[in-house]
Amino acid sequence: MTILDEIKPTRRQRLYDLVRDAGIDVSHWETTKGNSSSAASNPKYCYNWSFVRDDVVVLNLWHQEMEETEGVVRCALNPRETARQDTCVRVARAQQMDLALRQAKMAHLPIRVIINAGARKKASGNTSQVKHRLLDSVEWSVESYDTLTGHCTLARGKPQPVFIDQFTAWAEGFESPKKKTVTTEVTERCSKVRRQVLERANGYCEYCKSPGLNTPTGQIFLETHHVIPLSEGGPDKPDNVVALCPNHHREAHHGATQDSIRQQLLAHLKTIA
Ligand SMILES: [Zn+2]
Ligand SMILES: [Zn+2]
């Protein structure tokens, strides 16, 4: 069963309830005549595509517009383009959604997604019919937002760091090390140092300057390496750790050139200290 299958809504829930469950204040949905059932169908709100509070953004997305690759569910959308092509009230809803995406991107706000299933509007004239909906329990994040075009990609889950190394990759299950507990310990002890080094390397091997590998999740992979090994008393500090491409990492450990690589890396670390 794919993640997409798992998050497919199978029952009809009211938008009002889901928006409230996502943490948005819905008290103003109540009309002057107001009881809660009329609040839920208040046309001023109940057809909106996005809802914003200062610390959360709630978006309505279509299940059939989501895609799953390598275990990550994404949704690409461009409400600004929709606003350009559409008519009347939908323009305002689309513009509001574009603004919500921009706010989420700039303020790094978590996104709660209400997943809709049903008949999506195709041409102008007919309206979309939501058959089922649910509030996704997992937070989404903005993976990319093009301020020029309004094109946006949302990904299900917390935002991923751009640069990763072998420990992150293990932790995420790309490759499973035998001694899981040991790895976790090591990973936690120096994760801050590794992050600093990966940021400093900026995606390029600090030995040969060639770019790291692109991962299926859009991150850049390099391996972190202690120039003077911890076993030889080398410190676990950024001035003793480098980011290397996998080839040069192996060479630094096993190659006939390991001594010269070590000297060159030490010299390199001195120049950037
Ligand atoms: Zn290299
Ligand atoms: Zn190493």
CA of 246 to the centre of ligand 1 (A): 7
- Residues 104, 53 share a domain: yes
pLDDT at residue 254, rounded to an integer: 95
CA of 73 to the centre of ligand 1 (A): 32
| CATH number where 241 lies | 1.10.30
CA of 176 to the centre of ligand 1 (A): 24
Q: Which residues line ion ligand 2, judged by CB < 5 Å? A: 225
- Residues 169, 145 share a domain: no
CA of 224 to the centre of ligand 2 (A): 7
CB of 13 within 8 A of CB of 134? yes
pLDDT at residue 79, rounded to an integer: 94
The continuous run of DSSP H or E covering 158 comes out as none
- Residues 152, 121 share a domain: yes
pLDDT at residue 178, rounded to an integer: 43
Backbone angles phi, psi at 158, to 5 degrees: -70, 155
CA of 249 to the centre of ligand 1 (A): 7
Q: Retrieve residue 263's tokens.
A: 């000297």
* Ranges in the chain, pLDDT < 70: 32-37, 122-126, 170-190, 217-218
CA of 249 to the centre of ligand 2 (A): 6
CA of 263 to the centre of ligand 1 (A): 15
Which domain does 212 fall in, by range?
A: 163-272
- Provide the number of structural domains found in the chain: 2
- Residues 175, 119 share a domain: no
- Residues 178, 149 share a domain: no
CA of 208 to the centre of ligand 1 (A): 4
pLDDT digits (tens, 9 = 90+) for 56-86: 999 999 999 999 988 889 999 999 998 888 7
CA of 248 to the centre of ligand 2 (A): 9
- Residues 19, 90 share a domain: yes
- Residues 183, 264 share a domain: yes
pLDDT at residue 163, rounded to an integer: 84
- Residues 151, 74 share a domain: yes
- C-alpha 44/C-alpha 38 separation (Å) is 11
Ligand nearest the Cα of residue 227 is 2
CA of 104 to the centre of ligand 2 (A): 38
- Residues 177, 145 share a domain: no
- Residues 229, 98 share a domain: no
Ligand nearest the Cα of residue 197 is 2
- Residues 127, 244 share a domain: no
Pick the last residue of a domain from 118, 141, 156. 156
CA of 129 to the centre of ligand 1 (A): 54
- Residues 179, 147 share a domain: no
Pick the last residue of a domain from 138, 156, 174. 156
Ligand nearest the Cα of residue 244 is 1
Q: 56: which strand partners? A: 53
Kindly provide the b/e burial profile for residues 179-196, where b requires at least 16 CB atoms within 10 angstroms of the residue's own CB.
Answer: eeeebeebbeebeebbbe
Pick the last residue of a domain from 156, 171, 199. 156
> Residues with Cβ < 8 Å from 105, sequence gap 6 or more?
142, 145, 152
Ligand nearest the Cα of residue 206 is 1
